[in-house]
Amino acid sequence: MAGAGTGPVPVVLDAMGGDHGPDVTVPAALAARREHGVPVLLAGPGEELRRRLAGAEAEVEVVHAGTVVPMDERGSGAVARPDSSLMVGCAAARERGGAFVSAGSTGAVVAGAVRTFGRAPGVLRPALAVALPTPDGATVLVDAGGTADPTAEMLAQFALLGAGYARAVLGVADPSVGLLSIGSEATKGNRLVRAAAALLPGVPVRFHGNVEGHDVLAGTVDVVVTDGFTGNVVLKNIEGCVRTTLELAARAGIADAGRVDEVARLYAAETHGGAALLGLAGTVVAAHGSSTPAAIAKACAVASGLASAPDARPIAGAVR
């Protein structure tokens, strides 16, 4: 990998991923370069991308890819398209020692990334990490949807992966880690959580103990560990809850209805910079399909920073 000390790690951006394709990714690539200082390569149809880049071809390199993975494609279908912008982009990122960013279907991005980069040594399964805003900072939610049915050992590894992310992206020196459960006692929870609660005190992270649903956005801990099913439900529940809360507040005359988006945006991709896929032998960030250019530019900056952090892919085999 290109690493710290040699300038920002380059990022390959899937030009065709996301709901709006190059309409969003081309300005995003330019913004990542100009506003975040991150060199970006665009993977997609070469001729079209160069035309859209107009006079800025010197700022953004293009890697040609002849086809596209449709947004509704399943993971297995994605990896079967080696000439797609997703797979060509992943391969280019690996060859150049760079990070990869896509706003395509998360399932397809995960499958393509796992196929291209493989897992980091000792890592059982990858996990998605998202940084959520809290009143006084941010909390990393991991796994936000990478692995729907993990084992307790995988959850224990997610704690390590999430702590590495909190150090690298949020700059927290010694992150505290909570296990999401339905009671603060280690005896509470489902079978998976009770087994993980028994493992976590032996893992080299600052384990806070179990936390509950109301702790996720309260800043109780720096990292909240959960399985990818619960994590994805929680992440999307927050999106919906923010919107409904502000609507109800506006109707009650407590909030300014016209400015609801200002708070909703705090929870959107613009801020958290997408979901980082942790545990791979490479750095991959999945941005939301409806991301704006600013959101994708931020995701590129996060990916570049994560790729240059030595402990973003932590202690292989620390949890067996």
Which residues sit at the interface with its own copies, rule CB under 8 A? 107, 133-135, 145, 148-149, 180-183, 189-191, 193, 212-218, 226-230, 232-249, 251-252, 254-256, 259-260, 262-263, 266
Q: Which is nearer to its own copies, 10 or 107 (CB)?
A: 107
Least gap, CB of 220 to its own copies (angstroms) = 9
Cβ neighbour number for residue 74 with a 10 Å cutoff: 14
Categorise residue 54: left if φ over 0, alpha if ψ from -120 to 50, beta otherwise: left
Least gap, CB of 285 to its own copies (angstroms) = 19
CB 285 within 8 A of CB 90: no
Least gap, CB of 270 to its own copies (angstroms) = 14
Q: Which is nearer to its own copies, 50 or 194 (CB)?
A: 194
Q: How far apart are CA 27 and CA 231, in angstroms?
A: 31
Cis peptide before 143 (omega within 30 of 0): yes
Q: Which is nearer to its own copies, 145 or 279 (CB)?
A: 145
Q: In what order do the strands lie in the sheet with 11-14?
A: 61-64, 40-44, 11-14, 99-102, 284-286, 275-278, 127-134, 137-142, 223-225, 176-180, 206-211
Least gap, CB of 183 to its own copies (angstroms) = 8
State the Cα angle at 61 between 55 and 64, rounded to 5°: 110
Q: Which is nearer to its own copies, 6 or 244 (CB)?
A: 244
Q: Which is nearer to its own copies, 67 or 245 (CB)?
A: 245
Least gap, CB of 233 to its own copies (angstroms) = 4
